[in-house]
Amino acid sequence: MTIFAQLKRKQSQRMKYKRILLKLSGEALMGDRQYGIDPKRLAEYADEIKEIHDKGVEIAIVIGGGNIFRGVAGASNGMDRVQGDYMGMLATVINGMALQGALEDKGMLTRLQTALKIEAIAEPYIKRRAVRHLEKGRIVIFGAGTGNPYFTTDTAAVLRGVEVNADVILKGTRVDGVYTADPEKNPDAIKFDAISFDDVLKKGLNVMDTTAFTLSQENALPIVVFDMNKKGNLLKICEGENVGTVVNV
């Protein structure tokens, strides 16, 4: 075992989660803008990711594309839904490239893999290659969703998480967990520190889309919903602190 591998193992042994799948929304990259990518927000996320990377956590990432294009919105304006969804997939690749640049500016090694073949800018998604990159300490960004229309990036995140044997799905949002109602609309909404998959379904709570949530439940892959915009939250979760809401079996 190399010195790097020994150091990485020693660091990761202190962490609750050794390998994570981080799901970020495209809208989160907008910052205070109306659309596009805010370089300041991108740099902040890179700093947060570097903190856990330096602790030896293996990191895979899926980003949405809503800040650039949303397929459903295109369909509602008369565009073919399938065409719109493919445009949305390309938007996730753009976001993946932006995050890749921000991470590499901080000195981290990355690989961008896409479900659609775009050899000039990214590797095609191959499970074994993705796992090997993670084992070597590289951050793997998965772009283009599942490569199929009618599937969200939430579903892509859980699918990739299952495939690379992630310990947890970390869903970074602008809300600090799962509530009984939308806390931005209802000030009386109560936050759950932990909740089971079954209770989420019984209460009709919105954590992820149904396909993604069911896939996570069937594979007993826990989901943590947390506020990605609060500095230090990502590290606290990986260290085992109670941040956000944990959805588990």
**Per-residue pLDDT tens for 194-205?**
999 999 999 999
Is 39 annotated as ligand-binding? no
Is 146 annotated as ligand-binding? yes
Identify the CA nearest to 71 among candidates 91, 87, 51, 59.
Answer: 87
Phi-psi region for residue 137, left (φ > 0), alpha (ψ -120 to 50) or beta? left
Buried b (16+ CB within 10 A) or exposed e, 180-191: eeebeeeeeeee
With a cut of 90, say whether residue 249 has pLDDT above it: no
With a cut of 70, say whether residue 12 has pLDDT above it: no
Q: Any bridge partners for residue 227, and if so which? A: 173
Q: Looking at the domain assignment, is residue 5 inside a domain? A: no
Between residues 183 and 110, the one the model is more confident about: 110
- pLDDT computed for residue 69 by the predictor: 75
With a cut of 70, say whether residue 165 has pLDDT above it: yes
Is 110 annotated as ligand-binding? no
54-63, 72-81, 152-161, 210-219: segment of lowest average pLDDT: 72-81
Is 148 annotated as ligand-binding? yes
Q: Any bridge partners for residue 226, and if so which? A: 172
Q: Looking at the domain assignment, is residue 4 inside a domain? A: no
- pLDDT computed for residue 74 by the predictor: 60
Q: Looking at the domain assignment, is residue 193 inside a domain? A: yes
Domain count, the chain: 1
**How many CB atoms are closer than 10 A to CB 75?**
15
Q: Looking at the domain assignment, is residue 9 inside a domain? A: no
Is 245 annotated as ligand-binding? no
Is 155 annotated as ligand-binding? no
Which tokens go with 156?
């892509």
Is 26 annotated as ligand-binding? yes
First to last CA, the chain: 36
Strand pairing category for 178-179 and 223-227: unpaired
What mean pLDDT value characterizes the chain? Answer: 92
With a cut of 70, say whether residue 106 has pLDDT above it: yes
With a cut of 70, say whether residue 4 has pLDDT above it: no
Which tokens go with 79?
């565009």
Domain assignment of residue 26, given as a range: 15-177+186-247
Is 71 annotated as ligand-binding? no
With a cut of 70, say whether residue 72 has pLDDT above it: no
**Scanning the structure block, which residue is given the tokens 């019984």?**
202
Contact at 8 Å (CB) between 183 and 175?
A: yes
With a cut of 60, say whether residue 5 has pLDDT above it: no
Is 23 annotated as ligand-binding? yes
Q: What is the CATH number of the domain that holds 206?
A: 3.40.1160.10
Is 214 annotated as ligand-binding? no
Q: Looking at the domain assignment, is residue 230 inside a domain? A: yes
- pLDDT computed for residue 166 by the predictor: 98
Q: Looking at the domain assignment, is residue 3 inside a domain? A: no
- Mean pLDDT across 45-70: 94
Amino acid at 203: K
Q: Looking at the domain assignment, is residue 54 inside a domain? A: yes
**Per-residue pLDDT tens for 44-54?**
999 999 999 99
DSSP code of residue 137: T
pTM value > 0.75: yes
Q: Looking at the domain assignment, is residue 10 inside a domain? A: no
Is 182 annotated as ligand-binding? yes
